Structure 1
């Protein structure tokens, strides 16, 4: 379909250019030349003989670059880029930029498009040089800082990405601030083992940019636990329920470790009880609470607690945990149920992107599917997924 539109656009554009030229020459007879360029018929002949590549080159050559045809050139080049024909797009945009008759705004737009061509082709150094040049203009094009931020993100140059993000944010609302917070978190990850003080500084900056940055709170808790400061870790974790309760399951291992360092598992039991009261579908908290009850009281008490919970909130992980605890009223079914639940727990995806639907077993703060930050969420494996997962396991 795109190719058909291209075939339609090219001859129409070329003919439009010829008509404009004819009118111009009618007003200026002394400059009049041959009415119809034979190259136009040559291009049509290529189209009729199903040689689209040659036809495209001919029609592009017919388009004289002037204020009336610049938009046509840009549209053609963008069409080439979307089709993956980056070299052609680059050639058109370079040709536009080289024209001295192009006025300032059109030249800037052509430079932006050429930079996007280079990015699409993976030539990031050329794209970076071009966008930096645009950034030095008296009135920088809004795409310059945005695309530089993308380049630095791809190259993992987090300090430069932060700088570009702040330049974008200076002219817009706070839409970019959550991205800047993620870049600070990336820097904190890099400093976590060598320079914890610098890592804490980066996390403070992340939370300043985005107070709802769950990742920063989790990293802060992890760093405090690494230096045996469990109460400060708990303070950091306390923010997550307000930031985004969907990530509470990610905080559970840190809560467990913090209360272990405090030698206060009863307090963890109370904390988990409160969590499942406020978030009854939180299977991971229910399972952790079951294990804590088994450790503090007895396996039988843990079995009884989980058995009652599963009646109201059934889940595959809960059933699997109950089997591991030794619930064996139906001995003949135990091996089969154990195999089914184990398969589901092992095969089930733990994380899903709310933007594109990507799912996997590990947490990605930058979604591999749609390249969006912070869109991947932890998920629970419920009985409603039984049939789908069993099919995938068979």
Structure 2
């Protein structure tokens, strides 16, 4: 009976003790949650949101204790350094992350990719290449590694390696790299054209296999065929350019002239040019080539009359300049001024422009110098609509 009485009296004491222990536990847990998000962290975040990166950097540097929960913060901070041009600091942070044995696979992979980008930004392409190649050895390699290796191999003009990387990307079905691969084969073909013309033709065929619309490959193939004394094959190749992209016909005209000349059939070339003009009446270059043929076949007077009539229907600066050079001097006082202006505009006018970024110039670049995109440069015609712009260049 006495024992039961004591137990009854101890129950409230046990309850009170349990309540006090639970209270201390929850207070300690609450303090741990508070410490997990330091006020300094939010202070630095606030600086970033208010576009005060310098102050944010100073705050975050004080929080650089690496653990699995702060990896994203470290990556963001290192990327900020890289964007600011402080590549060495970005490299140190990413190297510090990679050295941590506690870093799990996905985070380590991301840190290695970012370190490779740091090296590329610093111009240390060999280190970047080594890192990305290491990533390519993973059971599931990240596509970004292949993309960056593709960039490196293009910069270093390692076309075989570039083809390999582009092919791997294409297998992921996320990147259509077939036209790109065709350009790389064209680069190899142009390198081999002097040493081994047959190897050059094999490379051209590989380019066309990957991109049947590759005009560059057709032009290279036709040049080689002409040099091998195969004008009929060259004619077939060059006529195919109209199907590939008729905008590039001006680039094929001189080669077509050689091919028809080798077959002693300039009259056939004349007929073909007339057919092209019927379908593409605004191709001034075709009209001027036809004028040249008429001059050779029928004489200067017939060529002048043809071009004079054609310019009434399709006026162009180049056509006018050609007409004057053919000897059309009916208005003696006006001809010198016209000839001066037209010659200046023909000389200063850009002949090629990039359909992607608008870059223009006098030389055909298969790789646009401005946006670094392949096969985006297109031949352009100098029409009267461009007079004002071209005249500004002559001022």
TM-score scaled by length of structure 1: 0.87
Q: Give the direction of change, closer, same or farther, for the CA distance of 1:293–1:99 in structure 2 (3 Å limit).
A: same
Question: Conserved in 1, the CA contact under 8 Å of 2:169 and 2:175?
Answer: no
| Cα pair 1:86 1:120 within 8 Å, conserved | yes
Match of 2:29 in 1: 27
Instruction: Report if aligned partners of 2:150, 2:165 keep a CA contact under 8 Å in 1.
Output: yes
Q: Confirm or deny that 1:125 pairs with 2:126.
A: yes
Structure 1 pair 273–224 and aligned structure 2 pair: CA distance change class (3 A): same
Residues 271-305 of structure 1: CA distance to partner in whole angstroms, max 9, x if unpaired?
11111111111000100100110110011111111
**Alpha-carbon distance between aligned partners in 1 of 2:372 and 2:54, rounded to the nearest angstrom:** 33
Shift of 1:58: 4.7
1:171 Cα deviation after fit: 1.4
Correspondence list, 1:37-52, <5 A: none
Match of 2:20 in 1: none
Distance (Å, rounded) in 2 between the aligned partners of 1:382 and 1:30? 75
Q: 1:89 to 1:391 in 2, by over 3 A?
A: same
Residues 278 and 174 (structure 1 numbering): CA distance in 2 closer, same or farther, change over 3 Å? farther
Give the whole-Å Cα distance in 2 for the aligned partners of 1:385 and 1:366: 25
Q: Judging changes above 3 Å, is the alpha-carbon distance between structure 1 residues 287 and 33 closer, same or farther for their aligned structure 2 residues?
A: closer
Secondary structure of the 2:112 match is helix
Residue aligned with 2:334, SS: helix
In the other structure, the counterpart of 1:7 is none
For the aligned residue pairs, the C-alpha RMSD in angstroms reads: 2.8
Q: Separation in 2 of the partners of 1:169 and 1:82?
A: 30
1:216 is matched with 217
* 1:203 to 1:54, Cα distance in 2 relative to 1, 3 A: same
Q: How many angstroms does 1:87 deviate by?
A: 1.8
CA shift for structure 1 position 110 = 1.0
Aligned pair in 2 of structure 1 residues 157, 328: CA closer, same or farther (>3 Å)?
Answer: same
- Which residues of 2 match residues 168-317 of structure 1 at below 5 A? 168-172=169-173, 175-317=176-318
Unpaired runs of at least 5, structure 1: 1-22
| Alpha-carbon shift at residue 341 of structure 1 (Å) | 0.4
Q: Judging changes above 3 Å, is the alpha-carbon distance between structure 1 residues 52 and 247 closer, same or farther for their aligned structure 2 residues?
A: closer
Post-superposition Cα deviations, 1:343-367, rounded to whole Å, max 9, x if no partner, equal 0000000000011111100000000
Q: Secondary structure at the match of 1:377?
A: strand
Structure 1 residue 75: Cα displacement: 2.2
Cα distance in 2 for partners of 1:282, 1:30 equals 76
Tell me whether 330-339 or 23-32 shows the greater mean CA deviation: 23-32
- 372-381 or 75-84: which moved more? 75-84
Contact 1:188 1:203 in 2 (8 A): yes
Q: Distance in 2 between matches of 1:264 and 1:34?
A: 85
Q: CA deviation at 1:41?
A: 12
Structure 2 unaligned runs (5+)? 1-24
Deviations 1:327-385 (A, max 9, x none): 11211101000000000000000000011111100000000000000111100001111
CA contact (8 A) 1:25 1:32 kept: no
Alpha-carbon deviation of 1:207?
Answer: 0.5
State TM-score, norm by structure 2: 0.87
Q: 2:109: which partner in 1? A: 108
- Per the TM alignment, residue 93 of structure 1 is displaced from its structure 2 partner at its CA by 1.5
Aligned mates of 1:273, 1:57 — CA distance in 2 = 72
Per the TM alignment, residue 222 of structure 1 is displaced from its structure 2 partner at its CA by 0.7
CA distance 1:141–1:307, change in 2 (3 Å): same
Shift in CA distance, 31/320, structure 1 to aligned 2, threshold 3 Å: closer
Aligned equivalents of 1:34, 1:180: Cα separation in 2 = 51
| CA spacing shift, 1:310–1:34, aligned 2, 3 Å | closer
Shift of 1:84: 2.3
Deviations 1:194-249, CA, capped at 9 Å, x for gaps: 01111111111100111111100010001111112111111111221111111111
In structure 1, C-alpha distance between the alignment counterparts of 2:327 and 2:33, rounded to whole Å: 97
CA 1:296 to 1:77, structure 2 compared with 1: closer, same or farther past 3 Å? same
Classify 1:309/1:188 alpha carbon distance in 2 versus 1 (closer, same or farther; 3 Å): same
Structure with higher Rg: it is: 2
Report deviation, 1:98: 1.6
Match of 2:4 in 1: none
Q: Which residue of the partner structure matches residue 17 of structure 2? A: none
SS at 1:156 equivalent = coil
Deviation at 1:389, TM superposition (A): 1.0
Flag the 1:30–1:127 CA change in 2: closer, same or farther, 3 A.
Answer: closer
- Structure 1 residues 341 and 28, CA gap change in structure 2 (3 angstroms): same
